Structure 1
Amino acid sequence: MFKIARASLAASFSAGFPEADDSISDICTQLTVSEGWVGDLSNGVIKLGERATLLHGLKNPECGLLSMMRCYDANDRAHILELFEQAATSSSHFCYSTTIALPNGHRQPVFCIGESDGLEETSAGSMLGIFVFPRFKLAAASPLRALS
């Protein structure tokens, strides 16, 4: 899944959603690990949280897009790169899902939801988002299958 939607400058992730009650938050915590990230479009640096840094196989939480994507499924990298390029040229909401190849041969599914903003202003703009990691891994030979 690779999606991008042009953002209305009046609507962002910070507004418009009702607050989740504690039972929904508990279920999300039981089933997933999530962590925010930010990107500075003036220098191309993405700053990941501690867990995302570890799961992406990086030593430093500050990295470039290509370094971050190195562990992603090779078939998805071009799509994700194109998605980030589009989001870097026009304020947008975007999302993608892929798997991370882990050193032990397993694969970790990852979902990313983000937004870019400030591109229509005099600044270079920024991105922010969240990674969601389901609390399971896939064996190397186990593909994700879509239900139909």
Structure 2
Amino acid sequence: MFKILKTTAPLNYLPGSLPFDAIEPDSLAQYCVSEPWTGDMGNGLFRLGERTAYLHGLARSECGLLNLVKCYEATDRTNVLEIFEQAATSCSSFCFSTTIMTIGGPKQPVFCIGESTGVEQKYSGKITGVFLFPNFQLPSPFPPMSRQ
């Protein structure tokens, strides 16, 4: 699933606009790990949460886009890069889902929802969003690596 929409209308749900009892963070935590992230289009760096960096196989929580997507399923990388490119050129809302691939380990499904703002001027703006990691993994297509 890969979707991007240009946005010009104000959001229907601004932070704090939903009554507290309509938001159930415990329900979400029962099914997945979620963590916010940001991207600065001025310097091209993404700032991930600690768990998100770990699940993407990154040693640091700050990275470039190519480092972020290199663990994604090969057939999805181009689509994800195109979504981020479009979001960097026009204020947009987007979402995608793919799988994080690890050698010899399980595959981790990942969902991303985000939006870009302030991109009207070249080399400006930011992208913000949330990564969702379901509390299950898929079998790896690769055989486990043997250690000698």
The TM tier, using the shorter chain, reads 0.7 to 0.9
Instruction: Please tell me the residue identity of whatever aligns with 2:2.
Output: F
Equivalent position of 2:146 in the other structure = none
Please give the alpha-carbon distance, in whole angstroms, between the structure 1 residues aligned to 2:55 and 2:33.
11
Equivalent position of 1:45 in the other structure = 45
Change (3 A) 1:27 1:39: same
Q: Secondary structure at the match of 2:74?
A: coil
Q: Runs ≥4 in structure 1, deviation > 4 angstroms?
A: none
Question: How much is the aligned-residue C-alpha RMSD, in angstroms?
Answer: 2.2
- Cα distance per residue 1:3-51 (max 9 Å; x no partner): 0001125327635963463783222111110000000001100000000
Equivalent position of 1:115 in the other structure = 115
Q: Secondary structure at the match of 2:57?
A: coil
2:72/2:100 contact within 8 Å kept:
yes
Equivalent position of 1:80 in the other structure = 80
Q: Which runs of 5+ in 2 are unaligned?
A: 142-148
Change (3 A) 1:13 1:109: farther
Please give the alpha-carbon distance, in whole angstroms, between the structure 1 residues aligned to 2:46 and 2:52.
11
Aligned length: 141
Change (3 A) 1:108 1:8: same
Pick which of 18-27 and 71-80 moved more.
Answer: 18-27
Q: Which runs of 5+ in 1 are unaligned?
A: 142-148
The alpha carbon displacement at 1:71 in A equals 0.5
Change (3 A) 1:87 1:16: farther
The alpha carbon displacement at 1:115 in A equals 0.3
TM-score when normalising by structure 2: 0.86
Please give the alpha-carbon distance, in whole angstroms, between the structure 1 residues aligned to 2:2 and 2:132.
15
The alpha carbon displacement at 1:120 in A equals 2.1
Q: Secondary structure at the match of 2:89?
A: coil
Please give the alpha-carbon distance, in whole angstroms, between the structure 2 residues aligned to 1:88 and 1:106.
32
Please give the alpha-carbon distance, in whole angstroms, between the structure 1 residues aligned to 2:63 and 2:116.
17
The alpha carbon displacement at 1:76 in A equals 0.1
TM-score when normalising by structure 1: 0.86
- Cα distance per residue 1:94-144 (max 9 Å; x no partner): 000000013442100000000000012577100000000000000024xxx
